[in-house]
């Protein structure tokens, strides 16, 4: 983490870029969900996905590695929430098996990148 905050700093992180693009993918996929899910699974999945890059960005601006790590742990928890929601929407046939596989692979990669960043801040 830089000594002096630069707003573009977090945007250079691979994990932020991947999670940002993942969120865009989630928004695109959820556009096809049934209208009655707008305030249910659609909203919940969008919020959980967007929480990942948002918490990475917010944590980056914090003054200590410990605070930053806490935000990264929240982002990691959002990855787990997304996993459960993706399973639900797959099982409800709101997304295809191919869409599920693509999104879940992206989610797994983001979770691994987050864990790597968390580990690096602990040392």
Tell me the pLDDT tens digit for each residue of 82-120. Answer: 999 999 999 999 999 999 999 999 999 999 999 999 999
Q: What is the pTM of this model?
A: 0.90
Cα–Cα distance, 113 to 76 (Å, whole number): 10
Q: Where are the domains of the chain?
A: 10-122
Q: Tokens 């993942």 appear where?
A: 22
Top-tier CATH class for 10-122: mainly alpha
Tell me the pLDDT tens digit for each residue of 33-75. Answer: 999 998 899 999 999 999 999 999 999 998 789 999 999 999 9
- The CA radius of gyration of the chain, in Å to the nearest whole number, is 15
SS3 73: helix
Closest CA to 53 of 119, 107, 90, 122: 107
pLDDT (0 to 100) of residue 3: 40
Cα–Cα distance, 30 to 15 (Å, whole number): 22
């Amino acid at each position: 983490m830089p000594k002096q905050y630069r707003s573009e700093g977090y945007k250079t992180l691979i994990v932020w870029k991947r999670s940002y693009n993942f969120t865009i993918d989630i928004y695109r996929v959820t556009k096809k969900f049934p209208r009655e899910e707008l305030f249910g699974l659609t909203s919940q999945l969008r919020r959980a996905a967007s929480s990942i890059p948002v918490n990475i960005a917010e944590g980056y601006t914090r003054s200590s590695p410990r605070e930053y790590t806490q935000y990264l742990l929240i982002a990691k928890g959002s990855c787990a929430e997304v996993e459960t929601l993706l399973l639900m929407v797959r099982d409800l046939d709101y997304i295809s098996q191919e869409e599920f596989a693509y999104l879940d692979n992206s989610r797994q990669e983001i979770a691994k990148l987050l864990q790597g960043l968390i580990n690096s801040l602990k040392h």
